[in-house]
Amino acid sequence: MNVYERGVANFVAFEKDAARITPYQWAKEMLTVTAGLIEDVGAAYVRTARRILR
């Protein structure tokens, strides 16, 4: 689970970095929303998996 969680965190960081450097407002918004969604879904998945594995 830790490896998956780190992978999600790395991907979210990449998306946020891409959002910060892109010159297009629509791309900034899309990358920011996508990063937030992936972060939220990944956190919910990890929480649920850890509860099940206890």
DSSP string, 6-51: HHHHHHHHHHHHHHHH-S-HHHHHHHHHHHHHHHHHHHHHHHHHHH
pLDDT at 7: 97
What is the helix (H) or strand (E) element at residue 4, kind and residue range?
Answer: helix 2-21
Domain that holds residue 10: 2-53
The pTM score is 0.87
pLDDT at 45: 97
Q: Which residues of the chain have pLDDT under 50?
A: none
**Count of domains forming the chain:** 1
Distance CA 18, CA 49 (A): 29
